[in-house]
Structure 1
Amino acid sequence: MKIGNLKFDERVNDIIGKIATREMRFPYLVMRRIEDRQSDSTPVYEIFETNRAGDEIQIGAVWERPKRSGDGVVLTGMIDDPSFREPLPIALFGDETNGFDVQWRRERDRDTQGGGFGNRASSGQRQGGFGGRSGGGFSGGSTAGADGGYTGNGRGLDDEVPF
C-alpha cells in the first residue's frame, strides 16, 4: 500500500517528501544518504522530521536488503518515535534520480510466505534491528484488546516490528 513519496529536491539538495496514513501525517520528511557507513549493517539512509520546536530529529532509517530472488536489493526501514504505539515498517521503490514510492504492508504469517524475510532466521527472529532491538516481529492481527488496551499479541512493547 503506497503511503508516500520522496524525491530529490535541487533547491535544498536533499531527498524530501511526505508520508501519510489514516492516523499519521509527516508532511515534510528529509531522507539523507549516510556517506561514511561503517559496515553493511549500517543504514543506507536516515529519515528526519522537524519537531514543534524547530529541531530536526531522526525518526527513521532505511537499509538495503537482498531481494529474495538474489538479484539486487530492496530498501526497507522503519519510521519510529517514542510517541508512537508501534513503529511503521516501510519499503522504498525507485531511486534517488526518479524518486521513491514509500510502501507499507502488514507482514503475513511465516508459513504462508515460505522462508525468511528481512534478515530473519528461520525461527522468525530478526538479526539486529532498528534502534538496537531484537526479537519479535509483526505477524498480523491486532495488538489491541476489546477494550482498546494493548494486549501484545505475544509481543512486548519493546519488541521490533520488522517490515
Structure 2
Amino acid sequence: MKHSAGLLVHRTGARGGPEVLLAHPGGPFWARKDDGAWSVPKGEFDPATEDPAAAAAREFAEELGSPPPSGPWHPLGTVIQSRAKHVTAFAVEGDVDPATLRSNDAEIVWPPRSGRVITVPEIDRIEWFDLATARRKILAGQVPLLDTLERLLETGTGQSSS
C-alpha cells in the first residue's frame, strides 16, 4: 500500500464561493485526460518515518515550486484513492497565483515497458476551481476531501481569522 499526503488550498472566489487549487498530472498518459484526472497536490511518504503534514508541505513545495500557505491547517482525513494508494490531506486557506508556480520534473518509462525514459513535469497545469467544477475534475477517490472541506467551511472551521 502506498501513502501520499497533500494540501488542499482554498480561497474565496470572485463570486463569493469557495475555490480550490488542483493540479493536473504531467506526462503523455494524462495529456488528453481532464475530468476525473486532477488532484490535490500530493506525494508519497512513509507513515512509519514521516508525519503526514510534513510530507504534505514538502510535496507542495516540490511539486509546485513554492512554499505552502502557512496555515492554520485543518485535517481532511485519509481517503482511499485506489486499491494501491491512500491519501491523507489537509486544508489551508491561501491565495497563490498558478502562473507563478512551476513543477519539478520526473523521469518515466514511455511508452510503458519500452525501456525508453523521458522527462516530464510532475504537474503540467495548476488551476483554481469552484467546488462544483472541482468535483468533476478531481480523481473520484479524492471527492470526499472536497466534501469534508465544504463541511469545514460551512461551520467556519476551515477559514483563518485573517
Greater helix share, 1 or 2?
A: 2
Report which of the two structures shows the higher radius of gyration computed on alpha carbons.
1
Structure with more relative contact order (C-alpha pairs < 8 Å, separation 6 or more): 2
**Aligning the two structures, in what range does the TM-score lie when normalised by the shorter sequence?**
under 0.3
TM-score (norm 2): 0.25
